[in-house]
Structure 1
Amino acid sequence: MAPISSVEYLSNPLVTSNQLLDLKNSERDNGLSVRFAQAQLTSAAGILLRLPQEVIAQAIVLLQRFWVSSRPEDREGFSPKTFSAATIYLAAKLSATPVAPRSVVNVYAYLTSKASPLLFVNPQGAPTDPDPADYYVSEGTYERERQRLFVCESVVLVGIGFDTRVALPYSLALTYIQVLGVSSASLARRVFEHLNAGLLSPQLLHLTHQPHALAVAAIYVAARETGIKLVEQNWWEVFDVDREDLGFLVLAYGSLANFAEAEAKKWKGIALSLD
């Protein structure tokens, strides 16, 4: 096997326009909403499992890769919740912070129960005094869910061609900020907020653009929002990002809040099932 070059560690395989079209054509009603909610569910599960953000991001990217690379029949037999659980379990297993199957099953039982803080599960909000019985996992249920988790994990691995390597933009963003000569905690924090939000984008930004472009666009947007002046001229070209890609990503980052708000209004009073 040929060694992986340093450049490959900084790049990801990108999705094709045909794959995006096939995904759109294969989705059922509310497919976009389901993908958005599924990504939120994965993120929330990773937080409750106390996983690093890099592991959560890798799980979401692997889940998105599976969406575009698998066939509709490959996605039958398992719910969006189970695919989310399988990818967070897989990403954690590949990291320095693996989690036990029981922990994954318990967290997802809670996040999809009547006690869940997620608005698409409980549009009226989580109860102030939740009943533990609502998310209790019996031993029998755990054994069934554990087996489904393992089988779904293997389906995901086959669907993505066993390519679990994911290059993320976080370290690049910090490096670029230093290169630009900016020392601002508020800028770095806002950049990371945009990068994290980009994982939830319905435009699948982490599949359509390389990490360096995602990092540059996040810096550009964050600098405008925080009022921090960067160097003159087209500084983004130094990092091999052209104006067209930058413009697309800036619009994508900027529109995500409106999309999320529209989704919240759409499902107000109506729960979205991921089971």
Structure 2
Amino acid sequence: MAPISAVEHLRNPIVTAEQLMKLKASDDDQIASVRFAQFQLTSSAGILLRLTQDIIARAIVLLQRFLVSSRSEDRKGFGHKTYSAASIYLAAKTSPTPVSARSVINVYAYLTSKASLLKFVQPASDRGSTGPTEYYVSEGSYERERQQLFICESMILAGIGFDTQVALPYTLSLTYMQALGVSSSKLAQRVFEHLNAGLLSPQLLYLTHQPNALAVGAIYLAARESGVKLVEQNWWEVFDVDREDLGFLVLSYGSIANFATAEREKWKSKPLILD
């Protein structure tokens, strides 16, 4: 059987080795924690803004593309929070469900306040009793943050070459499971959990692999975890994925939970500040 290749509109630009090396060269000891928190902040903001998962995923991927295509010194004028907010604002703007700048700013004010439920911002033991005054945005603050939001949005657009198209693996994974004759809702849920976790990976999986490979890796690991038997032989090759990429993705998906647990342990003693 000939491989089912991903068609052009289901492909993404892949990060180069030079870009990855350049990004790692600018890293400090805490940057992996900061990026993990930044991507989690972006996801949480999208949920509070009632955006769909594909919009949230696009926002995180656009933010990751900007990080690898820009220099660290060029990003120093604004905080990690503002770039996260700009990526959500941009992804929603180019979708059927745009959100206002005020909504984005209000949500981020809440998520980075003492009332936040995010553990890297405010440990549960320190949360205590908080009210709306903790995340109230005055008109002066709103105008200032709105201008920063628009500037960061333009910087992200320029950094990614104004290419906001992002192909995602969610629909592909369902198509592949149907082709494999698998109709388990529990398996599909576990596949989506791995795909969502992959967005937070410090290895930037959505920049290093195409959607078809991401989908196949998630299906393989979810099936192994769930005890679901798939077809015999190298079925992943039918979807244009080789064994090396599959092995890397399975290991990467499987390691994200341990990485997240380790990060949460760090946050208990020293919360992050995403200014």
What does residue 11 of structure 2 align with? 11
Runs of 4+ residues deviating >4 angstroms: none
What does residue 151 of structure 1 align with? 151
The alignment-based identity, stated in percent, is 73
What does residue 173 of structure 1 align with? 173
CA drift at 1:239: 0.3
Structure 1 range deviating more: 194-203 or 70-79 = 70-79
Cα pair 1:34 1:274 within 8 Å, conserved: yes
What does residue 115 of structure 1 align with? 115
Cα pair 2:117 2:124 within 8 Å, conserved: no
What does residue 203 of structure 2 align with? 203
The AA in structure 2 aligned to 1:24 is K
What does residue 186 of structure 2 align with? 186
What does residue 79 of structure 1 align with? 79
What does residue 106 of structure 1 align with? 106
The AA in structure 1 aligned to 2:61 is V
Once residues 7 and 174 of structure 2 are traced to their aligned partners in structure 1, the CA distance between those partners, rounded to angstroms, is: 18
The AA in structure 2 aligned to 1:58 is R
Cα pair 2:191 2:222 within 8 Å, conserved: yes
Once residues 124 and 177 of structure 1 are traced to their aligned partners in structure 2, the CA distance between those partners, rounded to angstroms, is: 39
Gap change, CA 1:125 and 1:204, over 3 Å in 2: farther
What does residue 267 of structure 2 align with? 267
Give the unaligned 5+ runs of structure 1: 1-5
CA drift at 1:125: 5.1
> Deviations for 1:93-112, whole angstroms, at most 9, x for unmatched residues?
00001000000000000000
3-state SS of 2:182 partner: coil
> Deviations for 1:150-173, whole angstroms, at most 9, x for unmatched residues?
011001111111111100000000
Q: How many residues align?
A: 270
Once residues 9 and 112 of structure 2 are traced to their aligned partners in structure 1, the CA distance between those partners, rounded to angstroms, is: 35
CA drift at 1:267: 2.1
Once residues 32 and 67 of structure 1 are traced to their aligned partners in structure 2, the CA distance between those partners, rounded to angstroms, is: 12
1:26 aligns with 2:26: yes
> Deviations for 1:16-73, whole angstroms, at most 9, x for unmatched residues?
1111110011123411111100000000000000000000000000000011001122
- Output the aligned Cα RMSD: 1.1
Cα pair 1:117 1:125 within 8 Å, conserved: no
Cα pair 1:116 1:126 within 8 Å, conserved: no
What does residue 49 of structure 2 align with? 49
Once residues 102 and 166 of structure 2 are traced to their aligned partners in structure 1, the CA distance between those partners, rounded to angstroms, is: 26
Once residues 152 and 125 of structure 1 are traced to their aligned partners in structure 2, the CA distance between those partners, rounded to angstroms, is: 34
Gap change, CA 1:164 and 1:126, over 3 Å in 2: farther
CA drift at 1:124: 3.1
1:134 aligns with 2:114: no
> Deviations for 1:73-123, whole angstroms, at most 9, x for unmatched residues?
221201000000000000000000100000000000000000000000012
What does residue 219 of structure 2 align with? 219
What does residue 3 of structure 1 align with? none
CA drift at 1:203: 0.3
What does residue 229 of structure 1 align with? 229
Cα pair 1:74 1:155 within 8 Å, conserved: no
Gap change, CA 1:126 and 1:39, over 3 Å in 2: farther
Once residues 89 and 164 of structure 1 are traced to their aligned partners in structure 2, the CA distance between those partners, rounded to angstroms, is: 12
TM-score using structure 2 length: 0.96
The AA in structure 1 aligned to 2:137 is V
The AA in structure 1 aligned to 2:79 is S
3-state SS of 2:9 partner: helix
Once residues 125 and 188 of structure 2 are traced to their aligned partners in structure 1, the CA distance between those partners, rounded to angstroms, is: 31
